[in-house]
Structure 1
Amino acid sequence: MTVHHEPEHWRKARRSRNGSARVEVGRFADGVAVRDTKDRAAGHVTVTGPRWSSFPRAIQAGRDDR
């Protein structure tokens, strides 16, 4: 997905705890962006809406859905 603007409304993952690995998710009109909370300057990865929706189901099923 090609994006020419910054994601909006970044929010930390619900299961993130102090001192643990943390990720944030930001919204685009047609998908999401994911970044490391501890290293925001490293940038973010973008994912389309349908791919993002399949991600939690794949994790719950115990498989890597590439």
Structure 2
Amino acid sequence: MSRADWRKSSRSGNTGQCVELAQNLPDVSAIRDSKAPEQGALVFTKPQLSAFLTNVKAGLLDR
């Protein structure tokens, strides 16, 4: 993760409730909590990240 280029969404406000995404890593992407980056990251293959984001956008992971 030391080479990860972390980015926040342009839709993130100033609430501190943001996630950061790193897509510059070979073969994987990573997501972490921007207010607690020391707690690590979730690492996905590119197809896994695509499926995860599709499910999030569709509301399939809402409670």
Structure 1 residues 24 and 56, CA, compared in 2 at 3 Å: closer, same or farther?
Answer: same
Unaligned runs of 5+ in 2: none
More helix by share: 1
* TM-score (structure 2 length as normaliser): 0.75
* Higher deviation after alignment, 6-15 or 30-39: 6-15
Unaligned runs of 5+ in 1: none
- CA distance in 1 between counterparts of 2:42 and 2:58 reads 23
* TM-score (structure 1 length as normaliser): 0.73
Give the superposed CA RMSD: 1.7
- Structure 1 residue runs of 4+, over 3 Å off? none
More strand by share: 1
